[in-house]
């Protein structure tokens, strides 16, 4: 008899799944599908992140004897609130600085943009870029006309951003409520216990992916720093704001997919100021790094969830086809969760 026919030669066969466990799997699957279809992934991730941070800080405070079991979670929440307030203050200062730049240096910025477009037009042999855009006043009028003609699209995008923010706030509230949920002293009912087990496994998968994302961001940052400080200087190109670009690459890289888009855009725009050739080289390098990160992502994530790189990569591609960007973001977490469930049953 083959091992496939009798997988319990070395290990005892797991007990058959109970009805509450099967019901919990179905409810979990429907809930995740609902989040993907109705664009609730940002709220889901925000709630999981806050819950996980509270859980980790709670354990650290108790381990370091900085708080008792009764008030450790309250102190963890207070610490997170202070950090959030600090970040909000830093963001407010940044917006204030941007507004000051907008009101005092906008003409100079437009003039530099026009100069960059003019040099790019000359490099292209006077083609593709209209001559009118090489003038700062004409460029200002063109930008104003573009904003007016696309006002409806910008309004719709703002509405979607507002909905996403509302979902994130709701997820944060649910994360706090879940962290401070008091268990029933008599123990949970069978379905509640089965659901709690599924949610705990999903949270563990989320934490594994988050820690892996930090490593991925470090790899991306090191590659970008090597390009900015090593490759470009070999050709006599020294981009301004290189250190800032490296910092942006790291912190933006903590956001799957979207973070890469933001950091890559910043690098290409700064490179454009040094000439279209440098911008093209930067774009080619970043595209190469972006494709490489698919495999790096799959390898690092796979090592944390006991999966081969091709498994995670395949799940990311399939989820991107089915659900777009939210599917890519959620794919490693879903795969880690699903494989954990299958491993528990002894099926893989």
46 and 84 belong to one structural domain: yes
What is the residue-wise DSSP string for 143-191?
HHHHHHHTHHHHHHHHHHHHHHHHHHHHHHHHHHHHHTPPPPTT---HH
Whether residue 333 lies inside any domain: the answer is yes
> 315: closest CA among 303, 298, 300?
298
291 and 216 belong to one structural domain: yes
Whether residue 96 lies inside any domain: the answer is yes
Q: What pLDDT score was predicted for residue 8? A: 44
Q: Please tell me the distance from the alpha carbon of residue 154 to that of residue 146, in angstroms, as a whole number.
A: 11
Whether residue 319 lies inside any domain: the answer is yes
Q: What pLDDT score was predicted for residue 106? A: 53
Predicted TM-score of the model (pTM): 0.63
175 and 214 belong to one structural domain: no
132 and 50 belong to one structural domain: yes
Whether residue 5 lies inside any domain: the answer is no
315 and 265 belong to one structural domain: yes
332 and 286 belong to one structural domain: yes
- Residue 37, domain extent: 32-179
As given in the structure block, the two tokens for residue 259 are 């973070």
Q: Please tell me the distance from the alpha carbon of residue 315 to that of residue 307, in angstroms, as a whole number.
A: 11
| Each residue's pLDDT expressed in tens, for the chain with a length of 348 residues | 444 344 444 555 667 778 888 898 999 999 999 999 998 888 898 888 888 888 778 777 777 666 665 677 677 777 777 777 776 676 666 556 555 555 455 555 556 556 666 666 666 665 655 655 555 566 566 666 665 665 666 566 566 777 778 888 888 888 888 777 766 666 678 888 888 889 888 988 888 888 777 877 888 888 888 888 988 888 888 887 788 788 888 877 776 656 677 777 778 877 877 777 888 888 888 878 766 766 776 666 666 677 776 777 788 888 888 988 888 888 888 988 888 888 887 777
218 and 140 belong to one structural domain: no
Whether residue 278 lies inside any domain: the answer is yes
Whether residue 188 lies inside any domain: the answer is no
Q: What pLDDT score was predicted for residue 1? A: 42
What is the helix, strand, coil percentage profile of the chain, to 5?
A: 80, 0, 20
148 and 108 belong to one structural domain: yes
Q: What pLDDT score was predicted for residue 213? A: 76
Whether residue 154 lies inside any domain: the answer is yes
Q: Please tell me the distance from the alpha carbon of residue 84 to that of residue 283, in angstroms, as a whole number.
A: 34
133 and 42 belong to one structural domain: yes
161 and 302 belong to one structural domain: no
Whether residue 11 lies inside any domain: the answer is no
144 and 276 belong to one structural domain: no
40 and 165 belong to one structural domain: yes
Question: How many domains, in total, are found in the chain?
Answer: 2
Is residue 216 within 8 A of residue 297, CB to CB? The reply is yes
């Amino acid at each position: 008899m083959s091992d496939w026919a009798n997988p319990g030669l070395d290990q005892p066969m797991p007990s058959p799944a109970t009805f509450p466990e099967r019901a919990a799997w179905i409810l979990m699957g429907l809930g995740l599908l609902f989040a993907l279809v109705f664009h609730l992934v940002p709220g889901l991730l925000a709630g999981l992140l806050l819950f996980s941070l509270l859980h980790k800080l709670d354990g650290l405070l108790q381990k370091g004897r900085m708080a008792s079991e009764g008030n450790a979670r309250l102190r963890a929440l207070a610490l997170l609130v202070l950090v959030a307030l600090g970040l909000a203050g830093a963001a407010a200062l940044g917006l204030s600085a941007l507004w000051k730049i907008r009101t005092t240096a906008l003409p100079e910025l437009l003039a530099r943009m026009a100069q960059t477009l003019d040099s790019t037009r000359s490099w292209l042999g006077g083609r593709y870029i209209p001559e009118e855009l090489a003038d700062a006043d004409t460029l200002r009028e063109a930008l104003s006309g573009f904003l007016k003609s696309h006002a409806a699209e910008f309004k719709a995008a703002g509405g979607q951003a507002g909905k996403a923010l509302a979902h994130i706030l709701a997820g944060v509230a649910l994360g706090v409520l879940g962290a401070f949920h008091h268990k029933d002293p008599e123990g949970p009912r069978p379905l509640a216990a089965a659901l709690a087990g599924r949610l705990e496994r999903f949270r563990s998968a989320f934490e594994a992916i988050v820690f892996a994302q930090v490593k991925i961001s470090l790899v991306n940052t090191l590659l970008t720093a090597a390009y900015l400080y090593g490759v470009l200087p070999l050709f006599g190109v020294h981009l301004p704001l290189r250190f800032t670009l490296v910092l942006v690459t790291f912190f933006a890289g903590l956001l799957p997919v979207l973070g890469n888009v933001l950091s890559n855009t910043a690098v290409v725009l700064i490179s454009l100021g040094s000439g279209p050739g440098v911008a093209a080289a930067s774009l080619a390098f970043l595209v190469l790094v972006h494709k490489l990160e698919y495999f790096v992502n799959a390898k690092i994530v796979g090592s944390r969830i006991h999966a081969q790189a091709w498994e995670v990569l395949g799940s990311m591609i399939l989820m991107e086809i089915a659900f777009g960007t939210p599917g890519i973001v959620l794919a490693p977490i879903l795969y880690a969760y699903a494989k954990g469930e299958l491993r528990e049953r002894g099926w893989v």
